[in-house]
Structure 1
Amino acid sequence: MTASKTEPMTATIEMMEAGGRTLRVAHWRLDEKSDHPPILFFNGIGANIEAVAPLAERLTERGFVMFDMPGTGESPDPTVPYNPFTMSWTANQILDQLGLGEVDVMGVSWGGAMAQHFTLQYPKRTRRLVLVATTAGMLMVPGKPAALTKMANPRRYIDPDFMNEHFMTLYGGMTKRAGSKEDHIGRLKPPSPRGYLYQLLAMLGWTSLPALPFMAKEVLVMMGDEDQIVPLINGRILASAIPNARLEVFEGGGHLFLLTHADESVAMLREFLGAPETKAEGRRAA
């Protein structure tokens, strides 16, 4: 496997073989001493590493690992379909190759389902779990039909005019911070049609709900109260089903509040994952 540096990210980028797949993996600060376990991050559907790189860059006190799903970013197209079990197994192999042990696991939207499954499949490897703008899978309260139909349309990655026209419907509060929409769009790389389809199919029929009462982990559920894709009620369902979970609601937060409310999100993550507490504004306890 080969490593290289990319700009503007400070990540090390590697093409790694894991689980019979070639995947583009990014990691930050794994060679630096830290009092905190690294974060294993699962991205949203169709999203590439660069989309969430700003979050990884800001969490300077800990390592961070993320990879492009097959057919997204610069990972090659999948040759066969996959599911949460096989992709969790693949992620576990990536951690082995990087020489990592226990990690904190985090996922946003589609990746939040993957994060739940990884934690259930590898409880001894997971210390704490962070779920962002996500659901328990098939047993969920759907968002607004206008947002869901546009979310499922790969044109949002391929056609800039389509993305610009429907951005508010898709992501909510992203337009409230000057330049944030343009910055986010500029970081996106379209997934391949097959890669996008296989991600959609991977969660077909999947739900974590029956297993959540047995999840013996500290869990932070972060939701935006203006999310049109994953309504807040889904976070309440997760928090009520997991014995040791707490729900934090970000006021004015759309589906991408992790980026629009970056200061508050990073402060909350540091508080929950063990770094010195930083005061967070613009959120309320549920």
Structure 2
Amino acid sequence: MSSAVAADGTRIAYQLAGPDPGTRPALLLLAGQSNNHHWWDPVRADFEAGRRTITLDYRGTGDSDKPDVPYSTQTFAEDAVAVLDELGLDQVDVYGTSMGGRTAQWLAIRHPERVRRLVLGCTSPGKAHGYERSQEIRRALSQRDQEASATVLRELMYTPAWLAANPGPYPVLGDTTMPAYAKGRHLVASNNHEAWDELPAIQAPTLILHGTDDVFSPAANADLLAARIPDARAKLVQGARHAYFHEFRAEASPLVLSFLKS
């Protein structure tokens, strides 16, 4: 297992795949809340034709350390920088989805020289200015019946037709090895994300992707981010829910690749 050491001593596990990129920048892939690098398993190979991909296990997940201390999306971004430093990479392309998109925002804001191109998927600028999921959805996800809650989450991620044709397992439903306290720390980190004031500082050309039928992180956030970030454009994936990048990979992955090559 490969790992980097964050500023506070936390060990962050990371994974490399794909060929040596040569002069092409590597692609850093950032997963959603309470997930490890397996979030990207269904689509990672889409990006590895002539390009190295990098994933990491957030603190609290996978093979990384799991300190019981406050987490934040800023902290996750600095952990990502520790991985890039360990690999000796001065600049990469970054693709973050869901909470990974929130983490990617801070990476591009705080370390503009490290991010060549930025892709933000199914994410938001934070609750103060962004569009949040409804209270009804929040209650459905927090109900005591864990199987019922899991069913709700699956249906927020994928369309009914996809679920019927693909019985799983689904790698985007959370890291089952996480201790309960770490899941709570991730939830607070994502809920407390607020980058609105600093989004105009992003220098990297930015592509924003979102499923039109995403109510977990409402699709209206895409245009909101595109208007706030300089040199950004939004593209909606018709009919997709939160896991657009998986279910609609045939459309989403080429959009990302075309943007990164442009």
Which band: TM-score by shorter chain?
Answer: 0.7 to 0.9
Q: 1:181 to 1:210 in 2, by over 3 A?
A: farther
**Count of aligned positions:** 258
Pick the aligned partner of 1:46 from 26, 29, 34: 34
Match of 1:32 among 20, 23, 39: 20
Letter in 1 for 2:47: L
Q: Is the 8 A contact 1:147 1:169 kept in 2?
A: no
Secondary structure of 2:20 counterpart = coil
Deviations 1:101-122 (CA, angstroms, capped at 9, x unpaired) = 2101111111111000110010
- Aligned-partner residue type, residue 152 of structure 2: H
Deviation at 1:236, TM superposition (A): 1.0
In structure 2, C-alpha distance between the alignment counterparts of 1:48 and 1:229, rounded to whole Å:
19
Query: Is 1:83 equivalent to 2:69 in the alignment?
Result: no
Matched, 1:229 2:219: no
By how many angstroms is 1:204 displaced?
4.6
Secondary structure, in 3 states, of the residue corresponding to 2:256? helix
Question: Does the residue aligned with 1:127 lie in a helix, a strand or coil?
Answer: strand
In angstroms, what is the RMSD of aligned CA positions?
2.5
Q: Is the 8 A contact 1:174 1:181 kept in 2?
A: no
- What CA deviation, in whole Å up to 9, does each residue of 1:6-28 have, x standing for no partner? xxxxxxxx244333112221111
**For residues 107 and 173 of structure 1, what CA distance do their matches in structure 2 show?**
21
Segment of structure 1 superposing worse, 214-223 or 178-187: 178-187
**Counterparts of residues 77-226 of structure 1 (less than 5 Å):** 77-138=66-127, 139-151=129-141, 159=146, 161-162=147-148, 165-173=151-159, 175-176=161-162, 179-184=165-170, 189-190=175-176, 191-226=178-213
Q: Quick one: structure 1 residues 35 and 187, their matched pair in 2 at CA, closer, same or farther if it must change by over 3 Å? A: farther
After superposition, the Cα gap between the structure-2 partners of 1:47 and 1:107, relative to the gap in structure 1 and judged at 3 Å, is: same
Q: Which runs of 4+ in 1 moved over 4 A?
A: 150-153, 185-188
Identity %: 25
Q: Give the structure-2-normalised TM-score.
A: 0.88
User: How far apart are residue 152 of structure 1 and its match?
Assistant: 5.5
CA drift of 1:99 comes to: 1.9
Distance 2:257 2:97 in 1: 17
SS in 1 for 2:235: strand
TM-score (norm 1): 0.81
